Structure 1
Amino acid sequence: MPVLTYVYEDAGTSRYTDHDQLFKELIHTFFAEFLELFFPEVHKYIDFSAIRPLSEEVFTDLLGGESRRADIVIEATLKGEETILIIHVEPQSYYQANFHERMYLYFSLLYNKYRKPILPIAVFTYDKNYNEKNEFSMSFPFFHVLSFQFLTLTLRKLRWRDFIHSNNPVAAALLCKMGFTEAKRVEVKKEFLRMLVRMQLDPARQRLIYGFLKGI
């Protein structure tokens, strides 16, 4: 199973929350279910019997002068092929204007280390809608140098009602970050609990999913 890596910072300066840590544990526990729910085209090509967690990746953010960890980095194999790729999932809980550039830096550093194809995925979990960039490019009037793109998932832009009949534990957990109004908060909580009861998860996984109730 994939290894989960947390970033710990001083309470006074940290932008990371309890929900961030829960989210990372969720992806760690339900990696296949996460891809199946939100990136089915990726899921159908991955051989989940052959995934392997990679060592903790600590990089220096050259723009901010901070050390950062690539949150989830997994080596995987495509079904029926010998192709090995690296899947990098990066949750982002706050708006950052240069986030697309940071994703490119992570991509470059990971490729420099492993020299394997890399699939980057960004998951935006904050409560406001922004027009996030999913591409970092560099060009001149006389030459286009590069266009780097990554997959994105903006939970706030999803309609929670589209997921309440799902038996996927990730759908239940992330209802709390989907788009709903204050008037619908109680209704969302009720649907969350119905989903949790219906899934009949083992106690450990049920506790993990139940931890997201505080976000509703």
Structure 2
Amino acid sequence: MVDHDRLFKELISTFFIEFLELFLPDVLKDIDRDTIQFLPQEILTDVTSGDKKTIDLLARVKYRQQDTFFLIHVEAQSYSQAILTKRIFQYFARLHEKYDLPVYPVVIFSFDEPKRPEPTNYSVTFPSLDVLQFNFAAIQLNQLSWRDYLTQRNPVAAALMSKMNV
């Protein structure tokens, strides 16, 4: 059986600049490319349930022409999951707490079905107060047309076109 999660991690970490160039060009223009450092895999434990979750990819990068850093967290998701938005928020909160750095969260959805757009925010609201509005960047491959990437000279585009809408 193919370990899609591992393959995605290898692809994105090997071609991180190309991944950002293809899907997050605004983030790429804000970073110093020479400072990209991949951090060890984080294992986060839910203290109430004892469940352990592993962060897919975490990079520490420096803002261009500044002395400050931030984290880019990339999570590969191969199936639709109702609680994903809450889980991504929990990852964000734990990473922010541990590293005391801003976190740019990204989810890359690689499943074929369902075709509907996946939610990209998590909120906590009351009738009289919006307590939390958390958003993350989403790349949902089955919402993209492979034809738009056909002429790209980018290895990430070549590798992911088969997961795009055909």
The yes-or-no answer on 1:92 pairing with 2:104 is: no
**Corresponding residue of 2:132:** 146
* Other structure's SS at 1:22 match: helix
Residue by residue, what CA displacement relative to the aligned partner does 1:13-32 show, whole Å, maximum 9, x if unpaired?
A: xxxx5222211100010000
Residue by residue, what CA displacement relative to the aligned partner does 1:2-21 show, whole Å, maximum 9, x if unpaired?
A: xxxxxxxxx8xxxxx52222
Q: What is the total number of aligned residue pairs between the two structures?
A: 165
TM-score, structure 1 as length reference: 0.73
Whole-angstrom CA distance in 2 between matches of 1:40 and 1:172: 17
In structure 2, stretches of 5+ residues that fail to align are none
Write the mapping of 1:164-179 to structure 2, written as runs, cut at 5 A.
164-179=150-165
Distance change >3 Å, CA 138–CA 63, structure 1 → 2: farther
* Other structure's SS at 1:132 match: coil
Whole-angstrom CA distance in 2 between matches of 1:95 and 1:75: 28
Distance change >3 Å, CA 61–CA 153, structure 1 → 2: farther
Whole-angstrom CA distance in 2 between matches of 1:88 and 1:69: 12
Whether the 8 Å contact between 1:61 and 1:102 is mirrored in structure 2 is no
Whole-angstrom CA distance in 1 between matches of 2:50 and 2:86: 14
What is the CA-CA distance between 1:62 and the residue it aligns to? 6.4
Whole-angstrom CA distance in 2 between matches of 1:155 and 1:117: 26
* Other structure's SS at 1:173 match: helix
Write the mapping of 1:1-216 to structure 2, written as runs, cut at 5 A.
17-61=2-46, 65-128=50-113, 129-180=115-166
What is the CA-CA distance between 1:142 and the residue it aligns to? 1.7
What is the CA-CA distance between 1:56 and the residue it aligns to? 2.0
Q: Which has the larger displacement, 135-144 or 53-62?
A: 53-62
Between Structure 1 and Structure 2, the one with more helix by share is 1
In structure 1, stretches of 5+ residues that fail to align are 1-10, 12-16, 181-216
Whole-angstrom CA distance in 1 between matches of 2:138 and 2:18: 17
* Other structure's SS at 1:76 match: strand
Runs of 4+ in 1 over 3 A off after TM superposition: 61-65
Whether the 8 Å contact between 2:43 and 2:53 is mirrored in structure 1 is yes
Whether the 8 Å contact between 1:160 and 1:175 is mirrored in structure 2 is yes
Q: Which has the larger displacement, 53-62 or 147-156?
A: 53-62
* Other structure's SS at 2:44 match: strand
What is the CA-CA distance between 1:169 and the residue it aligns to? 0.5
TM-score, structure 2 as length reference: 0.93
What is the CA-CA distance between 1:82 and the residue it aligns to? 1.5
What is the CA-CA distance between 1:152 and the residue it aligns to? 0.4
State, as a whole percentage, how many aligned pairs show the same letter: 44
Whole-angstrom CA distance in 1 between matches of 2:134 and 2:111: 23
Amino acid across the alignment from 1:21: R
Between Structure 1 and Structure 2, the one with more strand by share is 2
Amino acid across the alignment from 1:94: Y
